[in-house]
Amino acid sequence: MWHIVLAISAATVIAGCSSVFSSLPSAVGGLPEGTPERSADRPAFPRVHEMPPQRSEGVLSRAEVKKVESDLAAARDNTTRRATEATAAATGANAATTEANAAAH
């Protein structure tokens, strides 16, 4: 019976001192290396009911939206073309290597 009481008491004490374990080496159960230090001052409670300030810039005009869309489409097409060329070059190089290996054997 005393063993159970002692185990519960020890568990309570250990759980209450969890901040002490953060200063222990990581091999013994502390924080892993590279963990940033805790800030000395507590962060402010987030202001969840305050509205953000109004934006200084307005939304994009139709012409600006069309320009951005065309720029994105051009970038996508360029990336697709480069990927296709790289795949074709890799396939051609693999075929040449396979043929050279077959001729050597």
**How does pLDDT run across 43-70, given as a tens digit for each residue?**
777 778 888 888 888 889 999 999 999 9
Residue 17 belongs to some domain of the structure: no
CB neighbourhood size of 30 (10 A): 14
**What domain count does the chain have?**
1
- pTM, two decimals, is 0.39
Q: Compute, in degrees rounded to 10, the torsion defined by CA atoms 20, 25, 26, 32.
A: 80
Q: Compute, in degrees rounded to 10, the torsion defined by CA atoms 89, 92, 94, 100.
A: -140
Residue 5 belongs to some domain of the structure: no
Residue 101 belongs to some domain of the structure: yes
Residue 79 belongs to some domain of the structure: yes
Residue 12 belongs to some domain of the structure: no
pLDDT > 90 in the chain, percent: 26
- DSSP structural state of residue 22: T
The predicted structure's pLDDT at residue 29: 65
Residue 71 belongs to some domain of the structure: yes
Residue 32 belongs to some domain of the structure: no
Task: Pull the structure tokens for residue 83.
Answer: 């990927």
Radius of gyration of the chain (CA): 32
Structural domain boundaries enclosing 90: 61-105
Given a cut of 50, the residues of the chain with pLDDT beneath it are: none
